[in-house]
């Protein structure tokens, strides 16, 4: 687990194709350059699908939202999947203030299966 001043995250590889970043605390500008580098490496170099789990995030700021938006753009360029799950009401209101809620409309935030060590991901079936 990587701990920053107000944010910690755990990186877990699932099924060989997906990397999950489980955040906890305040997701913001607190030295998250390393986190950005890890997410971009997963998308660009490793060509992995990425899931960001915000279930335990208490607060998000504009730099964190910018990282999420950048990650969406990069995943589209790399033809990988990028999902954000666990958006609570505080985070949702921040996205609404930035006029970005539609960017995250298709995200499923309920009924996320878990184990004691990591989150398990099941894509939506359309």
pLDDT for 105: 54
Task: Tell me the per-residue pLDDT of 89-118, one tens digit each, with 9 for 90 and over.
Answer: 888 888 778 877 566 654 443 333 443 444
Give the side-chain half-sphere CA count within 13 A for 14: 18
pLDDT for 119: 40
pLDDT for 86: 86
Cα–chain center distance at 54: 6
Question: Domain 2-104 classified CATH 3.30.750.24?
Answer: yes
CB atoms within 10 A of CB 39: 25
Distance CA 60, CA 10 (A): 17
pLDDT for 111: 35
Rounded to two decimals, the pTM is: 0.76
- Asked whether the predicted pLDDT for residue 122 surpasses 50, the reply is no
H helix runs in 79-118, sequence order = 89-97
Domain chopping of the chain, boundaries: 2-104
Task: Tell me the per-residue pLDDT of 2-38, one tens digit each, with 9 for 90 and over.
Answer: 544 577 889 999 888 999 999 998 888 765 788 999 9
């Amino acid at each position: 687990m990587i701990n920053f001043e107000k944010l910690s995250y755990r990186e877990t590889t699932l099924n060989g194709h997906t990397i999950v970043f489980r955040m906890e605390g305040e997701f913001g500008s607190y030295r998250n350059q390393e986190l950005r580098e890890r997410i971009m490496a997963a998308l660009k170099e490793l060509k992995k699908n990425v899931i960001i789990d915000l279930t335990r995030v208490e607060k998000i700021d504009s730099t964190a939202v910018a990282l999420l938006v950048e990650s969406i753009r990069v995943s589209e360029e790399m033809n990988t999947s990028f999902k954000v799950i666990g958006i609570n009401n505080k985070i949702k209101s921040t996205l609404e203030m930035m006029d970005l809620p539609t960017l995250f409309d298709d995200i499923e935030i309920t009924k996320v299966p878990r184990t004691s060590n990591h989150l398990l991901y099941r894509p939506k079936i359309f």
